[in-house]
């Protein structure tokens, strides 16, 4: 067999290591095809690199090289005529695909994100977030000053929520009446789904002003304007009172224990005796058990001001410090768990 012939044997440890070490190349190639909207252009069938380049303003030869590399990994497929088509992996980059990851893939390759990951060593040496090291302010202040970056980030978070929503909504016995307060709820993707499935429930979407402005369009498009109040504010200062169920989806992991406790204390102050809190996060498994959350934990390390993923003991202690008791943990697919807590 020649050195260039394909092999059916398992890759060697050194080859696996090489693929891991060069993984950032793959991520950036995925980002490029997502940003150019290649998967959307292939919805009606395979196309040549020249056709795709003309539609996207790209260089045909360079685009061919990117698509060829990704096709070798099962993302896109080249036919005998040199045209590229969708595969199940590439289908997830279509804008309208169920659980589309196009927006998330775009975010991961943006300049502000790419530069921060380039300073992972700084975070490892100092224990401090790389974002502030690179930009001189935390990521949330940066988004307040850079609306285009904030738009990319918000779309990415909505994208991830869309990927998880079915599992999250199926894993919990949602109330059929009362008020659900989604604290730090972004554009309202999860809350709008819950409200549609439970027509007797009302909602309050609570986030910072520039995020709420973006959420207004989503809530309106869902036809929920009469059942969902949009409230802008700072969850370190106060949380809307009167809710029967409070949601915190992917909020606590953005912060260190001190600031996470402050958010939980604001929720605790707003909750009634019968209210419940539902924290939606990764719960890290012990030891060497594989978990995407262990990689996401590195994202928290570089991107956020002290954020981290936590295990069950960490959540139990954190909730307890805020006057809340962890009642149960419900799995919701491979990337999320529902952590239910009540007032002590």
Q: Are residues 313 and 233 in the same domain?
A: yes
What mean pLDDT is predicted for residues 182-186? 95
147: in domain: no
> Mean pLDDT over all residues of the chain?
94
Neighbours of 221 (CB within 10 A): 10
135: in domain: no
Q: Are residues 77 and 171 in the same domain?
A: no
Q: Are residues 324 and 194 in the same domain?
A: yes
What mean pLDDT is predicted for residues 207-226? 89
78 close to 68: Cβ distance less than 8 angstroms: yes
Question: In sequence order, what DSSP letters do the residues of 238-279 get, joined into one string?
Answer: ---S--SEEEEES-GGGB-HHHHHHHHHHHHHH--TT-EEEE
Q: Are residues 275 and 184 in the same domain?
A: yes
Residue 289: partners with Cβ closer than 8 Å, 6 or more residues away: none
Q: Are residues 170 and 260 in the same domain?
A: yes
Q: Are residues 169 and 50 in the same domain?
A: no
Q: Reply yes or no on whether 253 is catalytic.
A: yes
Q: Are residues 87 and 187 in the same domain?
A: no
pLDDT band at 7 (very low <50, low <70, confident <90, very high): low
Domain boundary among 68, 92, 116: 92
What mean pLDDT is predicted for residues 255-273? 97
Share of the chain above pLDDT 70, in %: 97
- What is the tens place of the pLDDT at every residue in 187-202? 898 999 999 999 999 9
223: in domain: yes
Q: Is 75 left (phi over 0), alpha (psi -120 to 50) or beta?
A: beta
Domain harbouring 319, CATH code: 3.40.50.150
180 close to 191: Cβ distance less than 8 angstroms: yes
What mean pLDDT is predicted for residues 276-300? 95
Q: Are residues 52 and 192 in the same domain?
A: no
35: in domain: yes
**Is 89 a residue whose pLDDT tops 90?**
yes
Beta-strand relationship, 178-183 and 201-207: parallel
Report the DSSP beta bridge partners of residue 232.
207
The pLDDT score that the predictor gives to residue 4 is 47
266 close to 290: Cβ distance less than 8 angstroms: no
Residue 127: partners with Cβ closer than 8 Å, 6 or more residues away: none
Domain count, the chain: 2
Q: Are residues 164 and 76 in the same domain?
A: no
112: in domain: no
Q: Are residues 201 and 328 in the same domain?
A: yes
Domain boundary among 40, 64, 92: 92
Beta-strand relationship, 337-343 and 276-281: antiparallel
The pTM for the full model equals 0.86
Report how far residue 138's alpha carbon sits from residue 304's, in angstroms, rounded to the nearest whole number.
Answer: 7
Report how far residue 259's alpha carbon sits from residue 252's, in angstroms, rounded to the nearest whole number.
Answer: 9
Domain boundary among 75, 92, 109: 92
72: in domain: yes
Q: Out of 31, 64, 113, 253, pick the active-site residue.
A: 253
Full residue range of the structural domain in which residue 17 is found: 13-92
Q: Helices marked H in the chain — which ranges?
A: 13-21, 23-36, 38-41, 49-56, 60-71, 88-91, 102-109, 111-117, 120-126, 130-135, 139-145, 147-170, 189-197, 209-221, 257-270, 292-303, 312-321
pLDDT band at 31 (very low <50, low <70, confident <90, very high): very high
Q: What is the DSSP letter of 296?
A: H
Tokens of 38: 């290649």
Beta-strand relationship, 178-183 and 245-249: parallel
The pLDDT score that the predictor gives to residue 215 is 86
Beta-strand relationship, 324-331 and 276-281: unpaired
Residue 108: partners with Cβ closer than 8 Å, 6 or more residues away: 27, 30, 31, 156
98: in domain: no
What mean pLDDT is predicted for residues 271-291? 96
**Is 2 a residue whose pLDDT tops 50?**
no
39: in domain: yes
- What is the tens place of the pLDDT at every residue in 154-173? 889 888 877 788 899 999 99
Q: How far is CA 196 from CA 158, 169, 227, in A?
A: 17, 11, 10
């Amino acid at each position: 067999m020649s050195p260039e012939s394909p092999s059916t044997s398992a890759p060697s440890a050194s080859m696996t290591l090489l693929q891991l070490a060069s993984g950032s190349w793959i991520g950036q190639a995925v980002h490029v095809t997502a940003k150019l909207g290649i998967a959307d252009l292939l919805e009606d069938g395979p196309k040549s690199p020249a056709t795709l380049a003309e539609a996207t303003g790209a260089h045909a030869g360079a685009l061919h090289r990117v698509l060829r590399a990704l096709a070798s990994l099962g993302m896109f497929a080249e036919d005998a005529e040199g045209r590229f088509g969708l595969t199940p992996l590439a289908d997830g980059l279509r804008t309208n695909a169920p659980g589309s990851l196009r927006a998330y893939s775009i975010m991961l390759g943006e300049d502000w994100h790419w530069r921060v990951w380039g300073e992972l060593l700084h975070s490892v040496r100092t224990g401090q977030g790389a974002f502030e090291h690179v930009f001189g302010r935390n990521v949330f202040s940066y988004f307040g000053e850079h609306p285009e970056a904030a738009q990319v980030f918000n779309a990415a978070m909505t994208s991830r929520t869309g990927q998880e929503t079915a599992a999250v909504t199926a894993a919990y016995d949602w109330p059929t009446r009362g008020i659900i307060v989604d604290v730090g709820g972004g554009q309202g993707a999860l809350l709008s789904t819950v409200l549609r499935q439970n027509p007797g429930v009302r909602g309050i979407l609570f986030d910072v002003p520039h995020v709420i402005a973006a959420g207004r369009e989503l809530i309106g498009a869902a036809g929920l304007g009469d059942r969902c109040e949009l409230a802008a504010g700072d969850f370190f200062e106060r949380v809307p009172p009167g809710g029967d169920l409070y949601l915190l989806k992917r909020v606590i992991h953005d912060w260190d224990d001190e600031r996470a406790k402050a958010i939980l204390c604001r929720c605790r102050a707003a909750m009634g005796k019968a209210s419940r809190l539902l924290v939606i996060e990764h719960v890290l498994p012990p030891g060497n058990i594989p978990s995407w959350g262990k990689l996401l934990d590195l994202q928290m390390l570089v991107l956020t001001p002290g954020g981290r993923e936590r295990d069950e003991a960490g959540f139990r202690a954190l909730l307890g410090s805020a006057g809340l008791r962890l009642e149960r943990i419900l799995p919701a697919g491979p990337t999320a768990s529902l952590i239910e807590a009540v007032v002590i």
